[in-house]
């Protein structure tokens, strides 16, 4: 079994830093309403991207090293598993 952690932090910290999320970079945002997610496109900043409320709407995402400056650690394709994937 492999365990991977996606980038995650409080909403106020994401808002303050407002990084450009890399293409297909999935991040977890801790909000007052619980965890929510955003998926980067390599162009828009965090604040410009919409929240993804259902991970079943994501077909592929990439996990980067902890400092986010290096190459992807792993690419995850959910297409074959989407029917069984529940969030």
Span 9-52, pLDDT tens digits: 999 999 999 999 988 888 889 999 888 888 888 999 999 999 98
Alpha-carbon span 18 to 46, nearest angstrom:
5
H-assigned helices in the chain? 11-17
Model pTM score: 0.70
Domain ranges for the chain, please list them.
Answer: 7-81
CA distances from 15 to 11, 19, 30, 49, 75 (A): 6, 9, 12, 11, 26
- Asked whether 13 and 2 are in contact (CB, 8 A), the reply is no
What are the two backbone dihedrals, phi and then psi, of residue 83, each rounded to the nearest 5 degrees?
Answer: -65, -30
**Maximum Cα–Cα distance for the chain, whole Å?**
36
């Amino acid at each position: 079994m492999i365990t991977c952690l996606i980038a995650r932090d409080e909403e106020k910290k994401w808002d303050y830093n407002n990084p450009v999320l890399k293409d297909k970079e999935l991040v977890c945002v801790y909000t007052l309403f619980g965890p929510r997610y955003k998926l980067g496109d390599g162009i828009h900043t965090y604040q410009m991207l919409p929240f993804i409320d259902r991970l079943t709407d994501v077909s592929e995402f990439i996990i980067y090293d902890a400092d986010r400056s290096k190459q992807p650690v792993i690419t995850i394709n959910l297409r074959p598993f989407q029917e069984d994937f529940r969030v």
